[in-house]
Amino acid sequence: MRPNALRGSILALALAALPMAARAQAPLAAEGCLGCHGPDGRGVTGAGAINGRDRAELIAIMLAFRANERPGTIMGRIARGYTEAEIAAVAEHFSRIR
């Protein structure tokens, strides 16, 4: 019983810590965003926050920038450089940061 209980508590601990682990192992594609949108994508004056937003919404925004369907000054030029898989990974990453 005891090893199982221990294992269970460790699993719970590991799961509770997962968002942090995800942050620590951010996809490198997401690191490119931080140079303008600030640490953890929390935004600075002039560059909006991209953290904590719905994953699907973030993907939709990036795909719209990529297709020139969303007005933007530079994000279209940026979004067209990333693959759909990278956009999904980046969106997943920032959606987890609250």
Partner 1 sequence: MTMILSRRAILAAGALLAAPTPLRAQGAMRLLVIGGGFGGASAASFARRSYPDVQVTLVEPQRAFVTCPYGNLLLGGERQISQITHSYDGLRARGVTLVHDRAAGIDAAAKTVRLAGGQTLAYDRLILSPGIALRWGAIEGYDQAAADVMPHAWIPADGAQTLLLRRQLEAMPDGGVVGLAIPGNPFRCPPGPYERISMIAHYLKRHKPRSKIIALDAKEGFSKQGLFQDGWRALYGDMIEWVPGNRDGKVVKIDVAERVLETEFGTRHKVDVANVIPPQSAAALAAETGLVNDSGWVPVNTRTFEARAAQGIHVIGDANIPGPMPKSGYVANTTAKQAVASAVALHRGQTPPEAVYFNTCYSHVGENYGISVVGIFRPNADGTAITEVPNSGGVSPRGDLPEQRRAEAIYADAWYDSITRSMFG
Can you give the binding site for partner 1, defined by CB under 8 A? 6-7, 10-11, 13-14, 17, 20-21, 23-26, 28-29, 31-32, 34-39, 44-47, 73-74, 77-78, 80-82, 86
Let me know how long the chain is: 98
* Residue 28 Cβ vs partner 1, minimum distance, rounded to whole Å: 6
Residues 41 and 34: beta-carbon distance below 8 Å? yes
Residues 71 and 35: beta-carbon distance below 8 Å? no
Q: Is the CB of 28 or the CB of 56 nearer to partner 1?
A: 28
Residues 46 and 37: beta-carbon distance below 8 Å? no
* Residue 56 Cβ vs partner 1, minimum distance, rounded to whole Å: 22
* Residue 91 Cβ vs partner 1, minimum distance, rounded to whole Å: 15
Strand partners, 44: 47
